[in-house]
Structure 1
Amino acid sequence: MTKELRRLSFVVLVMFLSLFLATSWIQVVDADNLAQNSENTRTRLDSFQIQRGSIIVDGAAVASSVPSPDRYQYQRVYTDAAMWAPVTGYFNPVLQSATGIELAFNADLSGTGSNRFFSEIERILSGQPQQGLSVELTLDAAAQRAAYEALQGLQGAVVAIEPKTGRVLAMASTPGYDTNALASHDSDAVNAEHDRLAADPTKPLYNRAIAGKMNPPGSTFKVVVVAAALASGDWTMESTLPNPARYTLPGTDVQISNAWGGTCGPGATATIADALKLSCNIPMAQLAVELGDEQIRETAEKFGFNTEFEIPLKATASSYPSDLNAPETALTGFGQGQVTATPLQMAMVSAGVANDGAVMTPRMADAVIGDDFAVHQQFTDEAFDQVLDADDAAALTAVMVEGVESGAATGARIDGVDVAGKTGTAQNGEDEPYTLWFTGFAPADDPQIAVAVVVEDGGGKGQSGTGNELAAPIAKKVIEAVLGR
């Protein structure tokens, strides 16, 4: 063989190997990405031949597909549509649109993802019709119904979490909307309904549980500030702070007061325990200044602040900003100023305290399964961060229990159950309605549920409503549903 021929043979071999590697990459490694590309018309048309998998809660389908006489062959149908809308979202093949779990698990539900590859080969060889995979969610149907019904007539949201695992048990947002109307194959009707919902001033398309309008967490954030103090090692629940009836923010002439205008108890000083139990603003503002914004932000971030979670729904990051000055830091001591939070985030705060100071990453799915119940993907618990040691978490829990028994959060009391909780009544501007909050967990000695509730627009009461009056009773109903009471 001549030198030139050997060189040519080598070049051909390299080209062949390059082609082999490229096709292997496309067909195996990158196949799922290509299949899910919105520009892939073939995959979209093929998906019409496949009966979309179900979304399952407690063994029952909350979203399923039924035969349809049009070219799309199957119509998506939702049970208790408005109640489950923040979770399922909707799927519409006509408009090529999807939201919620329908979007997050589209590859599996549509039967076009890599999880389905080998089972589809077997199905094709056997001549059986194609069918997408189903998704089993972590949610508790009783908790979801309790949350949704308790929120009726309000603009608000509820998130409940299993503290030890991070499994989401409830995610409700009101006002809701009919996902069946947005899944219709009548594109004109769907567009008209979407435009109507988008123009509604109450924003029913918002999932207030994880996104939408970001609210100040008010006094529920005091749990984070107290956790920061305990984690520093320099403070205990019995540490004291000055107890004036008015407090001037550092370096300003702006004064703040406690909600009732008086002092935090009768003494010249107030303990951190009393400040949390009674929900006193002044001691917490002073504590925040003593700790500094960096210490508070570090603790807040261990609870999940400043992190955008995908659970798998995308949750807007709750915010504790950097580089706050002393008066700004003082305001965050009672959840005002520049700090904002979602109900998901505040549920994570309570769940972390409940779980001996360990925060778990929230998740909404347990498994992806086939129609033969074979598990194609199993989701596991994942630790997010450790905020407190077990002793400090127990000390914080004890004061949160006192807050529900005889403090500022009595609206969440349940006979025979120790509930740990904290309310919040957050200001939004001089003439704006308050945002009302509750976060807590139960039973305190063996936590099964952590919950957060937000009620926007003052619950229709402007600046006269409170978190204890409106948000805490909603949390109570969700806790009772999970505990079977």
Structure 2
Amino acid sequence: MAGSRARWINVPLARVAMLCAVMLFVLLAHITLVQSFGSRVLDADPRNERTLILRYAHPRGDIRTYDGTTIATSRPTTGGPYRYQRVYPFGERYAAVTGHVSLRRATGVEQAQEAVLTGDDPRVKVRSMVSAGSGAGAHVRLTIRDRVQRAAHDGLAAAGVPGAAVAIHPATGAVLALASHPTYDPNALATFDRLRLALTSRRLRESPDRPLLNRALNRLYPLGATFKLVTAAAALASGEYTPTALVDAPPRLRLPGSSAYVRDTGCGSAHPTLVYAFQSPCDTAFAGIGLRLGHDLLRDQAEAFGFNAGVLRIPLAATGSRYPVTADRSQTALAAIGRYETLATPLMVAMLSAAVANDGVLMRPYLVEDVRLPDRSVVSRAAPAPYRTVMSPALARYLAAMMATTPRRGGTRSAAPGVRAAMTSVPLTEDHALVTAFAPAGAPEVAVGVVLERPGPQATAVTTIARSIIQAALS
């Protein structure tokens, strides 16, 4: 009787034991999964204080300009759990390039080169441990020239309206300057004071000026008259036009299938040559050229320049510039003069001139010149490479000559004493003012793109900024 009762009692005990065993197995399996597969997610969680302490336990590598100016570095703190703090000696001037490192996130070059700056990149880690016996971060040297960046930043600040400027070396694709205005001070976001960080982040995010927006890379603008560089390239490539060919430039051009008109903004001649129409505000002439060439030919030429190619990494991510994939005849006429859905970043505005300046070959833009360990040994170095063949050398020389032609009704193509620049004319009646240029006209060393948003009477400042950047690049 006792044995039967014991067997009866052991049945639920066995079930409880089995349940406990299953639960223990599930718990161990879950812990194994978390440790094996979830550790990276947990480490990346900004709420993980241990990860943050480790992140600031060692100095990050410096970010420097091509000429050696340190624009981001780490300095020891005076106390607290974090041993090193990120410092930006020139703050606002380089914010569009460096970005910032905060307790929450990283942006700009700080984010794009995170692995090499922290020493987590396998190439940096191995070479650093072999040469120095530690996993120190590497220094990143950019292609940016301090004098050129200063000219771009100061010029935009003096204009007093939102805008951006980019300078590129046409033969290599090296980015010499990249500035956005309004800007912000990265030091304000590098604080370890969480309340102050939250308030500063909110203020910058909610500001109507959008200082955190990198306009040079991530803001799309209607190109307006600047796009006639692409339309002129398509016209010359078609074989139907030469620089001296006469084109129709009526006072107004009715858009097909519409009651709307494109109006002449001051061409001054009903039948100018193509080169005269190019260096003057002849909207009706280029709208008519677009109608004659057709949408497909214009789209092909725009895509040869890099439109519709998607995101371009330099290594910062640049928003892709856009040209309409489909369009009716009326839309084609508008697209040919940079209206309708034709949109580009200031980086692309500079790339237009860079392609012409380099005999029709557009080099891939890049921002990082090399990565070096603290002992100055090189981990990696940039290798300039072609991005696109935009046009033939002969066609590029035609366009270069057209860009270098001095406007007949006043104006100048001089960038500096004794230096002749090649540039597009500047639209003064549109919402935005844009210019693309390169210099010297005969032996290009710099290509520039400058955009000002709704400048009003300050529209002519766009050429002043471009000239200042060119002068700084050539000095």
The 2-side partners of 1:284 and 1:157 are apart by 26
Matched, 1:59 2:59: no
Deviation at residue 476 of structure 1 after TM alignment: 0.3
Q: Is the contact made by 2:413 and 2:423 (CA closer than 8 Å) also made in structure 1?
A: no
SS at match of 2:472: helix
* Secondary structure, aligned partner of 1:296: helix
CA contact (8 A) 1:217 1:426 kept: no
**SS in structure 2 at match of 1:201:** coil
Q: Tell me whether 1:82 sits opposite 2:73 in the alignment.
A: no
The offset of 1:419, in angstroms, is 0.4
Match of 1:311 in 2: 314
Aligned residues: 433
Identify unmatched segments of 5+ residues in structure 2: 1-35
Shift of 1:425: 2.6
1:278 to 247, 260, 280: 280
* Cα separation, 2, equivalents of 1:312 and 1:135: 12
Q: What residue in structure 2 maps to residue 476 of structure 1?
A: 467
Deviates most, 359-368 or 384-393: 384-393
- How far off is 1:413 after superposition? 4.3
Equivalent position of 2:148 in the other structure:
143
CA distance in 1, matches of 2:415, 2:282: 20
Percent sequence identity is: 36
Match of 1:442 in 2: 439
1-side partners of 2:414 and 2:334: how far apart? 26
TM-superposition CA deviations, 1:44-97 (whole Å, max 9, x none): 5543332100001011210000011222211000021101000000012x22x1
Partner of 2:222: 216
Distance 1:116 1:34 in 2: 20
CA 1:199–1:402 in 2, change beyond 3 Å: closer, same or farther?
same
Question: For each residue in 1:342-376, what CA deviation from the matched residue of structure 2 results, as whole angstroms up to 9, or x when unmatched?
Answer: 11001000000000011111000011110011111
- Contact residue 422 and residue 439 of structure 2 kept, 8 A: yes
CA distance in structure 2 between the partners assigned to 1:61 and 1:227 by the alignment: 41
Structure 1 residue corresponding to 2:192, chosen from 175, 185, 189: 185
**AA matched with 2:357:** A
Q: SS of the counterpart of 1:171? A: strand
User: After superposition, what is the alpha-carbon deviation per residue over 1:187-220, rounded to whole angstroms, capped at 9, x for unaligned?
Assistant: 21111111111111111111110113x2101111
Partner of 2:30: none
CA gap of 1:393–1:36, structure 2 versus 1, over 3 A, is farther
- Asked if 1:98 corresponds to 2:92, the answer is no
**Aligned to 2:179, which of 172, 179, 190?**
172
Within-5 A mapping of 1:100-115 = 100-115=108-123
Letter in structure 2 aligned against 1:291:
L
1:444-473 residue CA offsets vs partner (Å, 9 max, x unmatched): 1110000010000x22x2xx554xx12111
- For 2:80, give the aligned amino acid: D
- Counterparts in 2 of 1:407 and 1:200: CA distance versus 1, 3 Å: farther
Q: Tell me, yes or no, if structure 1 residue 50 matches structure 2 residue 58.
A: yes
CA separation of 1:408/1:217 partners in 2, compared to 1, >3 Å: closer, same or farther? farther
Aligned mates of 1:159, 1:329 — CA distance in 2: 28
Structure 2 residue identity aligned to 1:480: Q
Contact 1:155/1:455 (CA < 8 Å) preserved in 2?
yes
Partner of 1:3: none
Contact preservation (8 Å) 2:400, 2:441? yes
Contact residue 139 and residue 168 of structure 1 kept, 8 A? yes
Q: Say if 1:284 and 1:43 are closer, same or farther in 2 by CA, change over 3 A.
A: same
1:10 matched to which residue of 2? none
Q: Give the drift of 1:279.
A: 2.5
| C-alpha separation in 1, matches of 2:42 and 2:469 | 37
1:300 is matched by which residue type in structure 2?
A
Q: Is 1:320 matched up with 2:323?
A: yes
Contact (CA 8 Å) 2:280, 2:425: kept in 1 or not?
A: no
Q: Partners in 2 of 1:191 and 1:298 — Cα distance?
A: 47
- Deviation track 1:365-400 (CA, whole Å, cap 9, x = no partner) reads 011110011111111111011112111111111111
Alignment map for 1:333-482 (pairs within 5 Å): 333-403=336-406, 406=408, 410=412, 413-425=415-427, 434-456=431-453, 458-459=454-455, 461=456, 464=457, 466=459, 469-482=460-473
Q: What residue identity is the alignment partner of 2:306?
A: G
Q: Which has the larger radius of gyration?
A: 2
Question: How far apart are the structure 1 equivalents of 2:281 and 2:356?
Answer: 18
Partner Cα distance (2:211, 2:359) in 1: 37
Structure 1 residues 130-174: Cα deviation after superposition (integer angstroms, max 9, x where no partner): 421111100111000001111112211100000000000000111
Asked if the contact 2:434/2:449 (under 8 Å) is kept, the reply is: yes
**Aligned position for 1:12:** none
| Corresponding residue of 1:302 | 304
Give the 3-state SS of the residue equivalent to 1:396 in structure 2: helix
8 Å CA contact 2:72–2:86 kept in 1: the answer is yes
1:385-435 deviations in whole A, cap 9, x for unaligned?
1112111111111111114x646863764331110001343777xxxxx10
Letter in 2 for 1:55: I
In structure 2, how many angstroms separate the alpha carbons of the residues matched to 1:211 and 1:316? 5
Question: Unpaired runs of 5+ in structure 1?
Answer: 1-26, 429-433
Equivalent pair of 1:171/1:209 in contact (CA under 8 Å): yes
Does the C-alpha gap of structure 1 residues 331 and 220 become closer, same or farther in structure 2, counting only changes over 3 Å?
same
Aligned to 1:199: 206
1:239 aligned counterpart, secondary structure: coil
Confirm or deny: 8 A CA contact 1:175 1:203 kept in the other structure. yes
Distance 2:44 2:409 in 1: 54
1:235 corresponds to which residue? 241
Q: Do the aligned partners of residues 173 and 407 (structure 1) sit closer, same or farther apart at CA in structure 2, a change above 3 Å counting?
A: farther
Deviation at 1:306, TM superposition (A): 1.4
The answer to whether the 8 A contact 2:414-2:420 is kept is no
Q: Compute the displacement of 1:238 (Å).
A: 2.0
Letter in 1 for 2:164: A
